[in-house]
Structure 1
């Protein structure tokens, strides 16, 4: 399975106990409503399947996983700080009014001054704001997604119009 055929549900935070249990940060809303028996973990750019023995939701943002064949702390330690994915076919369908800034992944960012910047390849959720990543002129460019930057969103065409702060692109292109 390829990353573009899947969606990220979280990241492994740490191991728990000695029998291979892992704690992961859940960054996908209502994951407990999704029925799945396997996850895919990003191991150096390749998605490796792991079958679920059990999952326990601890709080809004954390869960504990027991995976088949991960039965020691050493095996679990190899998964720490790795991202966890599910196949796109398991992604719940959104209602038309449920569009969020996280849905801008894959949209084309167009700056008012510079023109097309490229497709948004990643959106990171930081405590203060969301950060979008695009590849512009062979450079990875990060910019915030907020009301000041976003000037318009065309959901049908998959375009987000932005007005980046003056000098932001220069920092990446120098």
Structure 2
């Protein structure tokens, strides 16, 4: 069984493309292409299931036309519409020295000054000029922490943690 902590979200399945089972795959991380993966993991009603890729081609920087093995009709493809797509963390880490922002979801954020865990990174907001980590504390408070590379002191993929220099007073707000 695939555990949720061993994968990270890279996109969502869109609508079918044509009548032979091809799908639009909207992705936020093209790791499946960089490490030549054989399969992607789809969330099928809460169960993570591997789907082997037959072929794919890029339509844009954010969309690929994907064909999975044994998905041969438009009806079968339509059943997957809206399904979240995940990628195994271990495969991604083997293929790259650099982690994508999507890969750090679920990492612990540590204040480099105090050494204390601030919380868990729940998402990365790239919609503004300043990149922000969205962090949930143990007391369920949601924080926005600047993700400036100058503030990041250490990243440990094995321990799944990021040590960051948090600007004075930010945690007191």
Q: TM > 0.5 between the two?
A: yes
Change (3 A) 1:140 1:88: same
- C-alpha distance in 2, partners of 1:100/1:64? 22
Aligned-pair distance for 1:24?
1.0
CA 1:39 to 1:101, structure 2 compared with 1: closer, same or farther past 3 Å?
closer
Say which of 70, 78, 94 aligns to 2:96.
94
Worse overlay, 68-77 or 131-140: 131-140
Cα RMSD for the two superposed structures: 3.4
Shift of 1:64: 0.9
Partner of 1:42: 43
Deviations 1:57-88 (A, max 9, x none): 22222211111232333332332233222323
Distance (Å, rounded) in 1 between the aligned partners of 2:10 and 2:80: 15
Alpha-carbon displacement from aligned partner over 1:103-155 (angstroms, at most 9, x marks no partner): 64413243989x642222x32454336453433244262525444xx844333
| Residues 145 and 103 of structure 1: CA distance in aligned 2, closer, same or farther (over 3 Å) | farther
The answer to whether the Cα contact below 8 Å between 1:43 and 1:82 also exists between their aligned partners in 2 is yes
Q: TM-score, normalised by structure 1?
A: 0.68
| Alpha carbons of structure 1 residues 153 and 71: separation in structure 2 relative to 1, 3 Å | same
Structure 1 spans left out of the alignment, 5+ residues? 168-174
Q: Secondary structure at the match of 1:158?
A: strand
Unmatched runs of 5 consecutive residues or more in structure 2 = none
- On the 8 A contact 1:109/1:118 being kept in 2, the answer is yes
Residue 123 of structure 2 corresponds to 123
- Which residue number corresponds to residue 21 of structure 2? 20
Q: In the alignment, is residue 161 of structure 1 matched against residue 165 of structure 2?
A: yes
Structure 1 equivalent of residue 133 of structure 2? 132
The count of residues paired between Structure 1 and Structure 2 equals: 162
Q: What TM-score results when the alignment is normalised by the length of structure 2?
A: 0.69
CA distance in 2, matches of 1:144, 1:81: 30
Relative to structure 1, the CA distance from residue 86 to residue 116 in structure 2 (aligned partners, 3 Å threshold; closer, same or farther) is closer
Q: Given the superposition, is the C-alpha separation of residues 145 and 3 from structure 1 closer, same or farther in structure 2, using an over 3 Å criterion?
A: farther
Q: 1:65 to 1:99 in 2, by over 3 A?
A: closer
More strand by share: 1
